[in-house]
Structure 1
């Protein structure tokens, strides 16, 4: 099995995303439900957010 080319995507918790955007974690969950953030679900049903998408979204909003 060739794992050298595997890319591991870092996923952030709602609390980590909330810290980045300086909002409450419940706000992050609300954004995910409304479709503003792309969330993935863990096997336990928890939301996780792709780190690269979060930083790109932050950069986009800071540029406005």
Structure 2
């Protein structure tokens, strides 16, 4: 059993990040390799992403305009 401290920041999987951005999980991995998004490696070698950083990046993406034809 693992215990998390109350101030531990939530981490997201590549699939969770991909769902937020509506892209493939491989794209998220490419972003991390390119330095656009920092990742944390688990003991098993899997990537995890800080939720606050992902949300900040998501907030910076311009939303599609509904009135575009």
Using structure 1 for the length normalisation, give the TM-score. Answer: 0.85
Q: Distance in 2 between matches of 1:22 and 1:6?
A: 30
2:45 paired with 1:40: no
- Paired residues in the alignment total 59
Match of 1:12 in 2: 12
Deviation at 1:8, TM superposition (A): 1.3
Deviation at 1:50, TM superposition (A): 0.2
RMSD: 1.5
Deviation at 1:62, TM superposition (A): 2.8
2:55 paired with 1:55: yes
Specify which structure has the higher proportion of helix.
1
SS at structure 1 position matched to 2:48: strand
SS at structure 2 position matched to 1:30: helix
Q: Deviations over 1:8-58 (max 9, x none)?
A: 110000000000000000000000001011100000110000001100111
